[in-house]
Amino acid sequence: MDCLVNVLGTLEMESLFWDIPFVRKSCQCPQEALIYVANECPALKYLALPSDLMYHQGFTISSLICKWKKLEMLRLKDSYNLEATLTQVSLHCKNFVGLDFTPANIGEDGASVVAIGEHEASAIVTLLPNIKHLVLRCAFLKREFLVMILQGCKELVHLDVRDCIGFKADNGIWSLLLILGHSCTRVQESL
């Protein structure tokens, strides 16, 4: 990280303003920064990770989760390597209550979509059965996998399935929650 600071410190204001958006972002700085945060912030409660970091360094992230024993909420912009990450969360983060899959660029053309298929839904149900907050906004999620999650995560109090692709958001979600005897009191959906 010091290397990048030294480079940026030598640039003039005009270069900083116009040229920095074109700097290649695949350097090791994000990994070093994440390791630094893991070592220096063991009491971290909320962690939001960009999709490119998950995709390129997913194994590093899952290996660092054990350092954040007080982690309560994790925001991911991708489901890449989800099972390994959630395995570490379930083993080490006993206060964990929420998972958020809100994608990058929401509301903009070309917004990314997080795919929640059978494998991802199964990982959520198996590894986080007591999760209380689940945000699947703008996800590609078939109704059968939503049902799997609702059947397996009975402690949900907040579920956000706004703007999902793959099922018709209707009052059927509320009916399903009632049939399952769910404690979920807040469901956000697009009607």
C-alpha–C-alpha distance, residues 116 and 106, integer Å: 17
Lowest mean pLDDT among 17-31, 141-155, 166-180: 17-31
The residue with greater pLDDT, 100 or 5, is 100
pLDDT number for residue 51: 62
Who has greater pLDDT, 60 or 126?
126
Q: Is residue 5, in this structure, part of any structural domain at all?
A: no
Confidence bin at 161 (pLDDT 50/70/90): confident
Q: Which domain holds residue 177?
A: 42-188
Query: Domain tally for the chain?
Result: 1
Residue 116 in any domain: the answer is yes
Task: Answer yes or no: is 167 within a domain.
Answer: yes
Tokens 């706004």 sit on residue:
162
* Residue 17 covered by a domain: no
The CATH number that applies at residue 84 is 3.80.10.10
The pLDDT score that the predictor gives to residue 118 is 97
For residues 23-51, average pLDDT:
76
